[in-house]
């Protein structure tokens, strides 16, 4: 079945460094969504990408959707301690459900 893979599983950076997480799907996706889960919290929707090659920015966060619509990335410029958490990508599953990657846990030390 369709799988959504994320790498890396963990990332530890110093505050101010950049961070990137990658998401790869075994099948073409109609769209991809990104969520953030703070420690002890629940996933919160960040953004949805729909078009091939789409790039969207939210302040220091840049999201990209690959040309083939099978991969995506999230890049954070100049990380801050508030960026700590786990970032999930999710693609629609054949049965209308969202198929989540296992997430990338980001730790930022001051």
Residues of this chain that interact with other proteins (CB under 8 A) are 30-31, 33, 35, 41-45, 48, 50, 88, 90, 92-93, 95-103
Distance between alpha carbon 79 and the CA centroid of its chain, in Å? Answer: 15
Instruction: Give the residue with the Cβ less far from other proteins, 48 or 77.
Output: 48
Task: Give exposure, 36-73, as e/b (b: 16+ Cβ within 10 Å).
Answer: beeeeeebeebbebeeeebebeeeebebbbbeebbbbb
Instruction: Give the residue with the Cβ less far from other proteins, 28 or 80.
Output: 28
Taking the complex as a whole, how short is the minimal distance between the CB of residue 6 and other proteins, in angstroms? 9
Taking the complex as a whole, how short is the minimal distance between the CB of residue 14 and other proteins, in angstroms? 25
């Amino acid at each position: 079945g369709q799988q959504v893979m994320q790498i890396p599983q963990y990332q530890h950076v110093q505050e101010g460094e950049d961070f990137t997480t990658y998401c790869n799907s075994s099948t073409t996706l109609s769209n991809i969504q990104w969520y953030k889960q703070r420690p002890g919290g629940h996933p919160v929707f960040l953004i949805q990408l729909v078009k091939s090659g789409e790039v969207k920015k939210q302040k220091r966060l840049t999201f990209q959707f690959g040309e083939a619509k099978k991969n995506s990335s999230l890049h954070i410029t100049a990380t801050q301690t508030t960026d700590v958490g786990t970032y999930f990508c999710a693609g629609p599953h054949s049965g209308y459900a969202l198929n989540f990657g296992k997430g990338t846990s980001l730790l930022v030390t001051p």
